[in-house]
């Protein structure tokens, strides 16, 4: 299920009375306000305030359900405290049952809600800013495909290019010659053959990308690489990518790639 589909199900979720705990927690270690694990205090205080409010209402059914969810949410986050990203979003209910947990790589504003439905407005905003998207990183040697949503890489695949030419290993200057579109004599023929093989590789991979776009419900698609290679790959796609970014990021860490694509 894609994140958009899950969000839609959350929007349709409803209780007869208040039964859903929605938690947005900022755990960003780079945030000055989150130094020394300050999120632990914010989590404890936020959950405590709701409990105190319920105690005042003296609704035993709500209090009992909330105490169980409070314990479950606290345990979930504490058990994963060594792997926290920028934020955590949780939607939880006992009856009807709901348990939806998201560790995200985008900024989260801490808040806690106890309602008859999941409070999803902030999550909608985050998904709009960082939608389900495919990022295609092109290069001569290989192509990386990143499946992303809300600033997080869900999956990553790498496809290596086999030139199909036995002389490739002996031609140290072929790559730069191909990218410059220059050369002379025998290397011109070699460049043409390499270019044809590369374009065939891109065309086959373009079919794979279109299939992934449909299966993973990508709302956006970006092609990244040196101009000639990025444009060559973009031409293989049935639908125009949202943007072509002319930078060689193929050896760059995934989360830094996301920053270059979405925040620049």
Selection from 104, 122, 134, 132 nearest residue 5 by Cα: 132
- For residues 85 and 62, state if they share a domain: yes
In this prediction, residue 264 carries a pLDDT of: 56
In this prediction, residue 24 carries a pLDDT of: 98
Are 184 and 191 in contact by the 8 Å Cβ rule? The answer is: no
- For residues 13 and 119, state if they share a domain: yes
- For residues 117 and 143, state if they share a domain: no
Question: Of 129, 147, 174, which residue constitutes the final position of a domain?
Answer: 129
In this prediction, residue 186 carries a pLDDT of: 42
- For residues 57 and 29, state if they share a domain: yes
In this prediction, residue 180 carries a pLDDT of: 40
Q: Which residue has the tokens 């030139």?
A: 163
In this prediction, residue 152 carries a pLDDT of: 85
The count of domains in the chain is: 2
- For residues 71 and 147, state if they share a domain: no
Question: Of 129, 163, 196, which residue constitutes the final position of a domain?
Answer: 129
Q: What is the pTM of this model?
A: 0.76
Please give the chain's pLDDT, 264 residues, in tens: 788 999 999 999 999 999 999 999 999 988 887 777 799 999 999 999 999 999 998 899 999 999 999 999 999 999 999 888 889 999 999 999 999 999 988 889 999 999 999 999 999 999 988 899 999 999 888 899 999 998 888 899 999 987 765 443 433 434 433 444 434 444 444 477 788 888 889 999 999 999 999 999 999 999 999 999 999 999 999 989 999 999 999 889 988 898 888 875
- For residues 45 and 143, state if they share a domain: no
Instruction: Domain of residue 207: give its range.
Output: 133-262
End-to-end CA distance of the chain: 29
- For residues 125 and 146, state if they share a domain: no
Question: Of 109, 129, 149, which residue constitutes the final position of a domain?
Answer: 129
In this prediction, residue 255 carries a pLDDT of: 82
- For residues 120 and 144, state if they share a domain: no
In this prediction, residue 196 carries a pLDDT of: 85
In this prediction, residue 259 carries a pLDDT of: 83
- For residues 103 and 161, state if they share a domain: no
Q: What is the pLDDT of residues 86-116, one digit of tens each?
A: 899 999 999 999 999 999 888 899 999 999 9
Count of CB atoms situated within 10 Å of the CB of 56: 8
Q: What is the CATH number of the domain that holds 224?
A: 3.30.420.60
Q: What is the CATH number of the domain that holds 33?
A: 3.30.960.10
């Amino acid at each position: 299920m894609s994140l958009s589909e899950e969000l839609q199900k959350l929007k349709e979720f409803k209780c007869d009375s208040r039964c859903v705990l929605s938690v947005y927690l900022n755990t960003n270690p780079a945030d000055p306000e989150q130094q020394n694990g300050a999120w632990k205090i914010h989590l404890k205080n936020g959950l405590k305030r709701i409990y105190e409010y319920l105690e005042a209402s003296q609704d035993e059914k709500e209090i009992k359900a909330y105490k169980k969810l409070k314990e479950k949410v606290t345990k979930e986050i504490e058990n994963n405290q060594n792997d926290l990203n920028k934020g955590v979003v949780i939607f939880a209910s006992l009856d009807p049952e709901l348990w939806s947990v998201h560790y995200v790589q985008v900024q989260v504003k801490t808040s806690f809600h106890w309602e008859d439905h999941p409070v999803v407005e902030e999550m909608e905003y985050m998904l709009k800013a960082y939608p389900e998207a495919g990022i295609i990183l092109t290069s001569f040697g290989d192509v990386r495909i990143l499946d992303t949503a809300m600033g997080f890489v869900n999956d990553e695949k790498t496809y290596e290019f086999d030139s199909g030419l036995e002389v490739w290993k002996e031609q140290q200057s072929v790559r730069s010659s191909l990218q410059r579109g220059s050369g002379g004599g025998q290397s011109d023929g070699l460049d043409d053959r390499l270019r044809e093989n590369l374009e065939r590789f891109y065309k086959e991979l373009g079919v794979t990308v279109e299939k992934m776009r449909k299966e993973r419900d990508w709302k956006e698609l970006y092609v990244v690489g040196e101009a000639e290679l990025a444009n060559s790959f973009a031409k293989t796609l049935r639908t125009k990518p949202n943007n072509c970014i002319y930078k060689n990021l193929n050896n760059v860490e995934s989360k830094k790639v996301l920053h270059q694509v979405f925040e620049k």
